Amino acid sequence: MTDKQPETRNLKPATPLKSGSSTRNPLFAGVDVGASRTKVAILDAEKRLLGHAVRKSGIDFTETAEICLKASLNMAGALREDVASCVSTGYGRKNVLFSDETKTEIGCHARGCYHYFPMAMTIIDIGGQDNKVIKLDNQGRRLNFKMNRKCAAGTGAFLEEMSMRLGIPLEEMDSLARKSEEMVELGSYCTVFSGTEVLEKIRQGKKVTDIVKGLFFSVIKRVLEMDSLTDRVAMTGGVVAHNPILVEMVEEITARDILVPEYPQLTGAVGAALFAMEDKK
């Protein structure tokens, strides 16, 4: 399955090379093997995003990374030997056989986000199985970071579980939530308890649209309680990429304009590719 990248704000894609053409210029690959999805980004020396791919990580991280690399190079019209350096990140970073180095996803998200927004900021990354709140100074150095604790509340896994319980395709949740007129509030920390709460709301006759918006609100609450927000705030990650309503809701709750990179789901992969470039210098 290929994950389609949704349209997002600030979208400034690099001009891709013509299909079938090949570059002899050095390219830099970033591979982010997340618990849910594997992402690859190919940058050229001018830091332009020439190719990218997203696939379900599945059970063979090595193979999935390989498939994503091929797809990304194909999109870039490049050959494997054009890749001068590669850095891998994410839970499966050590399963990427072709990478030259590994970095943590915290470092790569910070690096990728700072590339798009070179300023002091708080990054909120909502991933498939973990959330991160990372604070950067105006030089892009990490001041502090926090990951969600043991449970998956507030992550993509929570939304996946709820979409299954409600029998709603994951990709329809964003549009359903937008139709909500009276959001249902869910109180529990725990995914299992939230599931029970949702059943109770259904029993009470609440509208599915209102429940779905409540699920998104629950995700936001879990994330915002992880740390304070300082300086500008940016949001990244697959959950943000596929559910832009989350960004709008955070803007409303916090009364802040939220920054979102061009491909929120690729932020870690882009950061990894930037590290690959720096390592080669």
Partner 1 sequence: MSEEKKTTRRGIAAAKSLKKLMADYFYEMDDAAKTGSRKIAWCTSVGPAELLRGMGFLVYYPENHGAMLGATRMSTDLIPYANAMGYSPDICSYLTCDVGSYLQKKTPLTMAYNIESVPRPDVLVFNTNQCRDVQDWFAWYSRELNVPLVGVHTHRDIGDIRAYQIKDIASQIEDLVPGLEKVTGEKFDMDRLKEALGHSRRTSELWRACLEAAAASPSPWTFFDATIHMAPAVVSRGTKAANDYYELLLPELQQRVKEGVAAVEGEKHRLYWEGMPIWGKLRALSEQLFSLKSCVVASTYCNSWIFGQLDPDEPFESMARAYTELFIVRDEPFKEQYITDCHEKFKFDGILFHDAKTCPNNSNNRYGMPERLSKKLGIPVLTINGDLCDLRCYSEEQAKTNIEAFIEQLEER
Judged by CB under 8 A, the chain residues 207 through 226 that form the site for partner 1 are none
Residue 62 contacts partner 1 per CB under 8 A: no
Residue 141 contacts partner 1 per CB under 8 A: yes
CB contact burial 127-158 (16+ within 10 A = b; e otherwise)? bbebbbbbbbeeebeeeebeebeeebbbbbbb
In whole angstroms, give the CA distance from residue 228 to residue 122: 9
Residue with Cβ nearer partner 1 (34 or 195): 34
Task: Give the nearest distance from C-beta 100 to partner 1 in angstroms.
Answer: 10
- x/- site string to partner 1, residues 76 to 95, per CB under 8 A? ---------------x--x-
In whole angstroms, give the CA distance from residue 243 to residue 265: 11
In whole angstroms, give the CA distance from residue 109 to residue 254: 22
Residue with Cβ nearer partner 1 (107 or 156): 107
Residue with Cβ nearer partner 1 (151 or 202): 151
Task: Give the nearest distance from C-beta 172 to partner 1 in angstroms.
Answer: 31
Pick the binder of partner 1 from 130, 160, 197, 210 (CB under 8 A): 130
CB contact burial 89-111 (16+ within 10 A = b; e otherwise)? bbbbbebbeebbebbebbbbbbb
Task: Give the nearest distance from C-beta 29 to partner 1 in angstroms.
Answer: 17
- x/- site string to partner 1, residues 219 to 258, per CB under 8 A? ----------------------------------------
Structure tokens belonging to residue 215 = 């699920």
Residue 61 contacts partner 1 per CB under 8 A: no
Angle at 74 between CA 52 and CA 238, to 5 degrees: 20
* 178 alpha-carbon distance from chain centroid: 21
Residues in contact with partner 1 by the rule CB under 8 A = 91, 94, 101-107, 130, 141-147, 149-150
